Amino acid sequence: MDKYVLYRVMHFVAIFFFLSGIGVSFFGGEKTPKITKIITGIASLLILVGGMGLIVYALGIKHADKWPGFLHAKVTIWAIVTVLGPVLAKRLTKFRLAAFYGIVILASCAGYLAAAKPF
C-alpha cells in the first residue's frame, strides 16, 4: 500500500473516531465511559501522526522546509480542538450544544483549509 494512502486513511479514520468520541463526551450523560476518553486521546494522536505523514507524502514538505500558512492554521485548530473538546465536555453544563457545534465548525474549517489551501 502506498504511504500516502495509508496516512490519509489513518488521518480520516482518526478524525471520525475523535469527533465521535467528543460527541459521546458531550451528550453521553454524566458517566461517560473511560474507554471513550481513551479512544478520543488515541484518535487525537493518530490525527497528528497521519497529518504529519500527509505533509511529507502529499505535499512533499521535508523536515527543515518552511510550512505554508494553512498548515500552521490546521495545527493550531487541532491543538485547540484537542484541548478544549474534552475540557468543555466535562466542565460545561449550559451551552453544551453550542460548544459542540463550535468544535464541529473548527474541524470543518480545518477540512476546508486542507482542501482549498488558501494561504
- Note the pLDDT tens digit of each residue in 5-55: 999 999 999 999 999 999 999 998 778 889 999 999 999 999 999 999 999
End-to-end CA distance of the chain: 31
pLDDT of residue 64: 80
C-alpha 117/C-alpha 115 separation (Å) is 6
Residue found by looking up cell 504529519 in the block: 52
- pTM value is 0.89
Q: What is the pLDDT of residue 22?
A: 95
Distance CA 37, CA 82 (A): 11
